[in-house]
A and B are shown apart, each in its own frame.
Chain A
Amino acid sequence: MRRWSGRWHLLLVPMSAVVMLPFVWLLLSSVMTQAELNRFPPAIWPESIDLGGYRTVVERSNFLRWFVNSIIVSGAIVVAQVVLCSMAGYAFARIRFAGSKLVLILVIATALIPFQLTVIPTFLIFNEAGLTDTLGALIVPQLASAVGIFLMTSFFQSFPKELEEAARIDGCSRVATFYRVVLPVARPALAALAVITFITAWNDLFWPLVAINSEDNYTVQVGLTTFQGQHRADWPAIMAGTVLTTLPVLAVFLFGQRRFVQALTGAVKG
């Protein structure tokens, strides 16, 4: 059993408190009144729970629409990455095909290319295709990722071969082996990939900001940036919008934390 060693908590409790306090106050300020936040110094603790901020967000902005857009975009990206990256990772780890080593190195090296370098031409590509200002433009460039391929390749490399070999001897084709034998066992790795992909996709601001013009196609993150201008001084509304934007990602993180940490540390060790 773990022993209670109190003195470490004397250090760790204040540290985690400092880290978490801004979020606690975010939650508190989202249920304050405008008067409480607009005076100086602002209130630390709300006198009563006031849902005016949330009402403004839901009733007087397109927030719900942006939220749905974000769910569509992140959902599509997660599904695509889980399918495409696991297939590619399996191929790079297991199938000996011409050019596989070189292509894998090339793919992983692209993780070093900063997005600001490729963003202008990427915008031009979608502009030529007439696809800017659509949700599709947000999904297509993220259908697969170098990090995802790297994660899945290192997972399949560490995965025992015997199972697949038995299936192959029994006459299963490559595709059937992959779907019936390999994928079910790879579920933890797929979950890790899904968690990390969702968080990245949901939080993305730069590309949606560039690719989307009309308010109807905003994601929550882009919509949130417009709050400052539109609800100037309505700080409870801005804080409420921030809380609502953060909830999904926080839920996925808390729910899939073990997988998330595995993905982070696995990516480094692999």
Chain B
Amino acid sequence: MGSPAPVALGDATSARAPATSAASVAVPPRPALPPHLAGVVADESALRRFLYGLPGVDPVGVESRAASLATRSIKKGSKLAALDLAISMVDLTTLEGADTPGKVKSLCAKARRPDPDDPSTPQVAAVCVYPDRVSIAAAELAGTGIGVASVATAFPSGRSSLSIKLADTRLAIESGATEVDMVIDRGAFLAGEYGHVFDEIAAIKAECGETRLKVILETGELATYDNVRRASWLAMLAGADFIKTSTGKVSPAATLPVIHVMLQAVRDWRTATGRQVAVKPAGGIRSAKDAIRFLVAVHEVAGPEWLDPFYFRFGASSLLNDLIMQRRKQLSGHYWGPDYVTVA
């Protein structure tokens, strides 16, 4: 953590590629920050002052509120509606070294029709893959309305040069990705180099253009709720369309208290700027019951406007099977087993 040397931060109206970037990036104008926030991205020390000036999170309070909301029981018709909503919010994900074209295709087939026995089951929101698998997914999902999300920027660690991260992003977008999931440089964030993190997000956002950018905070590595709040604001100031909890490669991943803090951030951000930023918990959400707890938190903390696949997503792979089994349980009245759900 060095002295706050004046770092060239992309400001609200004329974000420019940082000096380290070899590529010259055509930058579409971002919506202007309101006057009271415009100053905070002027230089690194202003940004640091602003982030440290955010109110601290009361960990006991947020954990107990998350726990108490998790006890809420959703039954019958509401439960069925919640299950359908959760299915439509799933970013069906496969992020393995062993992802074959066949596996991506079968995942896409599952995304198109999650439950072949019941055509009334909604489609998922998007399929999430590595950049070099985007072209396969984009071809499979063409015309379905299902998005193709791609992780980028040296996922999952984020430890590479900016030019490589930009090239990674470009590969994803040129292959047909409709959403890009980037990881922040946690090492820089934890070292207090907020300007560096800000510049990187702004540069990737500039590379994305109209493509929606999800910024992965990797909350499991940020150590404190205060850091989660700071990282959320930092990402939104830099132009994130989504803030996402985790890569799914680090434990703990998406927990209810962390999502509470992030939902508070997007709610406050909307109050401050009028823009609604989406939230995506990812990793560790395996059961329909967990998913419904997240939806309750969304409704209670951020507000019902976020209960929409455009503003809230689940990054998950096995969650979808449990959602389908619980949906069938609601409709048929008896429990189902994995034998009756397609694998993907």
A binds B: no
Chain B residues proximal to chain A, CB less than 8 Å: none
